[in-house]
Structures are given as C-alpha cells and as structure tokens.
Structure 1
Amino acid sequence: MTRLHHALSAGKEINKALTDLDGAIAKAIDAAKASGLPQGLIVAELHGHAHAQTHNMVKA
C-alpha cells in the first residue's frame, strides 16, 4: 500500500489510525489470497469500496 501519510503533517492519533487501517487491509488481502480469491476480484472489491467512499465524500 502507498503510505502517503508519512508526507502529511498529522497527529500521532491520525498516524496510528492510518497505520492500523493499512495493517488491517493488508491482513484482509492476505487472507483473501490464502482462501483462493482471484486477485482481480480482490482488486475489484477494493476499487468498489474506494469508489463508494469517494462518492460519499463528494455528495456531503
């Protein structure tokens, strides 16, 4: 995962939350791969969530 948060000036709490999120996503991806999910399906799922979150931010 790209770690852009190192370039941002954010507090320790935000950095920890981002690190925890990054770790959780990486673990979930590893678990999905281990269970045999095709890489394209994993990418599609992540892309769908990113799109939905972007939509929620734009409409707010």
Structure 2
Amino acid sequence: MSKVTRLRHALPLSHDVNAAVSALDKAIADAVDAAKEAGLPQGLIVGLLHGHAHAQTHQMVIE
C-alpha cells in the first residue's frame, strides 16, 4: 500500500492529476450511458462497477 497517496497530503493537486481524474470520470459516465442505451440492467452495471472498485482496492491493499 506504499503507492497510495492520501489526497489531503497532496493538495493542491497538479493540473495533470486533475485532468486525469476528469478524463476518468467522463470515461466512466460515457461507458455507463452506453451500457444503459444497450439495455443492460442497472443492477448489472452497478455490480460490475462495484466489482472493479473492490478489485482495485484489494490490489492497492496487497501491494
């Protein structure tokens, strides 16, 4: 977990970090919109997002 940065210690965030967060947020929102338009059930979308969040959290904790 040595690569995890607490944001309150890194403030203010650099322009590059802000741009990356904005791009990630937009990509997630666009993917969710596309999934909804394709007819995926909302529960499946939420479950997939939750699974990825859990997997990434696990990866951060074990590193």
Shorter-normalised TM range: 0.7 to 0.9
Alignment of 1:12-31 (within 5 A): 12-31=15-34
Cα distance, 1:9 vs structure 2: 2.0
Query: Under a length normalisation based on structure 2, what TM-score does the superposition of the two structures give?
Result: 0.82
Residue 35, structure 1, aligned to residue 38, structure 2: yes
How many residues get paired? Answer: 54
Structure ranking higher on relative contact order (CA contacts 8 Å, 6+ apart): 2
Q: What per-residue deviation string (whole Å, max 9, x for no partner) do you get for residues 13-54 of structure 1? A: 000000000000000000000000000000000000000000
Q: Return the index of the structure with the highest Cα Rg.
A: 2
CA RMSD of aligned residues (A): 1.3
The runs of 4+ residues in structure 1 deviating greater than 2 Å are none
Gaps of 5+ in 1: none
Gaps of 5+ in 2: 1-6
**Aligned-residue identity in percent:** 61
